[in-house]
Amino acid sequence: MLSTLNVFFTNICIIFLILSVTFYLMRNRLPIQYDSKRSTRLYFGFANGLTGILLMHNSISINGSLIDLRLLPLALSALYGGPVSIVTTGIILLLYRVLISGGESVSALQNSLVMLTGFTVLIILCAQLIKHKGRLFTVIVTIGSTLVLLRMLLGPSHPHAWQTIFLPYFLITIGASILFYHLSHMLQGHFVLYAYQSYLASTDELTRLANRHVITGKVKALVEAKAPWGVIIFDLDHFKAVNDQYGHAVGDAVLRHFSVLLTQECPDSITVGRYGGEEFIVVIPNTFTVSPTRLARQLVQSVTDTPFVMQDHALTITVSAGVAYAKNQAAGIVFKQADTALYAAKENGRNQFMLYDK
């Protein structure tokens, strides 16, 4: 009895460990649900398949059958990832069951494969018909336990198996299913909140662009790598007049409008951030592939060509920009050079960019 309990409690620890690590590694993809990206559901199914493999190595073998808590990873796949996750988990378990068959009899292996395949198919059907997560999980665990019971009844008798193995199995399965149903919701909710807080800590609240902390980290990495990087600092022209004439709500909307233009025009490799107030910054990590001056010219023109549309009329906005190339200087010096070039652009009439070339 104690050895049986030890095996099942080891199973519980394995499920908890893999589930926690999986949610942590996928924290930027959460929540996992039926309409999540296919890759997300495949990853989750793979993680549960890995859990099932570890459970097989910590199972009780009776007449060719492996008794463990394998149905719980399958149930979790159904609960969150739907058919894609279930099929992924099921295929992994089937293939691995064949690989470790060893000297088992053909009939014992066939029985195991038939039961696992049938269980996977039933789960898929249940997931299509039952939308309430709690009921779905309960039905899956009930079906799985029933199949295990039938296998036990139809298989060769084993002395004292009911008292030492089967009864503990059913009791722990019921308890573990309740535990992991609630625990999985808590873990996913925790990591969703963690990812959201991390996102808020790295983004500007108004524009959702990178904040100074992220910009500083990106630039520090470029300096350490001795990369050929460059920087553009933008400043919206006459922004104070917009706030004074139309109010701060419109001013905030103009800032968001400009941030969208920056994001659309800049390649994914470029870091776009808000420097403060109406100033924005663009960090180009490789000036050989993207020319800072060409990009600055393109962005200045794009802002002029894309007026900010209010309810009653369109408001034309312009922007000035300062460009600087890093030449093995400290990051602070490069930023000051870009700021100097920006000031020159404003002094020269605004709605243009200037390159620091001293």
- What CATH number is given to the structural domain containing 145? 1.10.1760
Q: What is the mean pLDDT of the chain?
A: 86
Region 28-33: mean pLDDT is: 86
Average pLDDT over residues 257-264: 93
Does one domain contain both 7 and 90? yes
Q: Name which residue leads in pLDDT, 213 or 109.
A: 213
Q: Are residues 171 and 262 in the same domain?
A: no
The last residue of a domain, from among 202, 224, 253 = 202
Q: Which of 5, 6, 99 is nearest to 52 (CA)?
A: 99
CA–CA gap between residue 345 and residue 358 (Å, rounded): 15
Residue 349's pLDDT is what? 94
* Residues 197 and 220 placed together within one structural domain of the fold: no
Looking at the fold, whether 167 and 217 belong to one and the same domain comes out as: no
Answer whether residue 158 is part of any domain: yes
User: Please, which contacts does 40-44 make with residues 24 or more away whose CB atoms are closer than 8 Å?
Assistant: 40/81, 41/81, 41/82, 41/84, 41/85, 41/88, 42/84, 42/85, 42/88, 44/77, 44/80, 44/81, 44/85
Say if 218 falls within a structural domain: yes
pLDDT (tens digit per residue) in 139-167: 888 888 887 777 666 665 555 666 667 77
Q: Counting beta carbons within 10 angstroms of the beta carbon of residue 146, is it exposed (0 to 12), middle (13 to 18) or buried (19 or more)? A: exposed
For the stretch 275-297, pLDDT in tens is 888 999 999 998 989 999 999 99
pLDDT at 259 over 90: yes
Q: Are strands 60-62 and 65-67 parallel, antiparallel or unpaired?
A: antiparallel
pTM higher than the cut 0.85: no
> Residue 116 is part of which domain span?
2-202
CATH of the domain at 333: 3.30.70.270
Return the pLDDT at 156.
58
- Catalytic option among 205, 224, 265, 278: 278
The total of structural domains in the chain comes to 2
> Do 119 and 161 share a domain, yes or no?
yes
Does residue 192 form part of some domain? yes
Residue 207 lies in a domain: no
Last residue of a domain, one of 202, 237, 260: 202
279 is an active site residue: no
Residue 319 has pLDDT above 60, yes or no: yes
What is the band of 318 on the pLDDT scale with cuts at 50, 70, 90?
very high
Q: What percent of the chain has pLDDT over 70?
A: 92
